[in-house]
Amino acid sequence: MKSLAAVAVLAGLVRSVLAQNVSGAAEGFATGITGGGNATPVYPNDIDELVSLLGSSEAQVIVLSKTYDFTKSEGTTTEAGCAPYGTGAGCQLAINANDWCGSTTAATVTYDNAAIEGITVASNKTLIGVGSSGIIKGKGLRMTNGVSNIIVQNVHITDLNPQYVWGGDAFTFAESDLIWIDHCTTSLLGRQHYVFGQKPSSRITLSNNFIDGATSWSAGCDGYHYWTIELVGTEDRITFQNNYIWSTSGRGPALSGSTLFHAVNSVWSNISGHAIEGDTNGQGLFEGCVFDDVETIVVDDFKGHLFSSPDDTTNQQCESALGRACVSNIYSNSGTFDSSDTEFFANFTGLSVATAVSASEAQSKVPASAGFGKLSSSSRTQKTKCKNDWVGRDNLLDDAKLSLCWAEGGLGGALSRLCLPLDNAMDPHAIGAYDLMSLEAAD
């Protein structure tokens, strides 16, 4: 019989092989972020536990290994709304939030309550999805009221009343600091993919994300989502790196406040209306980016400050702000974007700046690598051997029946051939429920 000490060691290794670590490190304004750090990973069983963990005061590494479906969890509401864009099958209706409908055509709306306000996320959290399993359906995430040091990686937020304006936002920020959203996908939303409220949010990096605007209901009644990235904050500081924005029609971004927005190596594709809009104090530096089939890149009445990295000579002016020259953008079947306003460059002082590659490299890589489920499995897979069968970590969550064991390293010596029979689908937070005394030696 194997010793209890050996069993304990093996149990620890079972957890370690399933533990999901943050991939890479934040660049740009959120450089140095740690999130939940080295906290022991926790695996929420259901939506209630997920909400509790995200809102706790403790540093947490929260791992999502399945879909957390909030649909109908808070009931539904039927009330008077409106049809501001018409009543056609492809048109969004609107919830009358804060009497927004005014005198527009009335319509009855029935919406899911859970999606209206996102889950509150407290400071010092890492929220990370496993493979393509970390999905939050019917509710977004909300980072407000002074929270800081939050990482969200490899998560898909979807299905927030997409047929209704004001139906729900995927990511909400206001008065937050040091946040990194990476390799996330947002789709089928009622309102914004990313919204920054009026209170300032600083040191934010949004990287490797997929903004999926394809929808059956839109403000333009055309299948292109209009509500994309709304930035109304006071002196927000946002790095927007390696993101893929697809099938939207506006507010991508809306530089409506006094945000400093550094877009680097991001790709806009299949944009039916416009990408950039904003007000007088908006500030956007776009470099190494790709505009592919973007009908209008910047609205004609934009009043803010933009630098479009127009040519090698002009791009040298970035040296004072970034410590290097800017990288030129590329355009394909798109409108014009020729702006060289450097008045706002002093606002980069003291901020960490993301690196940039050529726009052609971004064009070849970003659409395929951005978003949920796209993290390299080679950097995360730990292989184990049992009876000459190799099992990668990513497969552990999919197989209905496994014998999990170690062959090389890890346990070492005679213990390196031990196997743990698992009679049910692997669920990482349920490892402790298995009978670890049933260990048997492999043949």
Among residues 136, 173, 175, which one has the least CA distance to residue 157?
A: 136
Q: Which of 191, 203, 251, 393 is catalytic?
A: 251
- Cβ-contact 272, 249 below 8 angstroms: yes
Q: Which residues of 405-441 are buried (b: 16+ CB within 10 A; e: fewer)?
A: bbbeebbeeebebbbbebeeebbbbebeebebeebee
Distance CA 85, CA 89 (A): 11
Strand partners, 218: 91
Cβ neighbors of 205 (< 8 A, separation 6 or more) are 26, 27, 28, 29, 30, 31, 33, 179, 180, 181, 182, 238, 239, 241, 354
- Asked about 251 being catalytic, the answer comes back as yes
Helix or strand (DSSP H, E) at 369: helix 359-369
Please state, in angstroms and rounded to a whole number, the distance separating the CA atoms of residues 294 and 246: 10
| 35, 167, 369 from 379: Cα distances, Å | 20, 37, 14
The answer to whether 62 and 127 are in contact (CB under 8 A) is: yes
CB-CB contact of 328 with 287 (8 Å): yes
Which residue type occupies 190? G
Token pair listed for 120:
């509150």
Hey, how many other C-beta atoms are within 10 angstroms of the C-beta on 113?
17
Structure tokens at 254: 């809306």
What residues act catalytically?
251
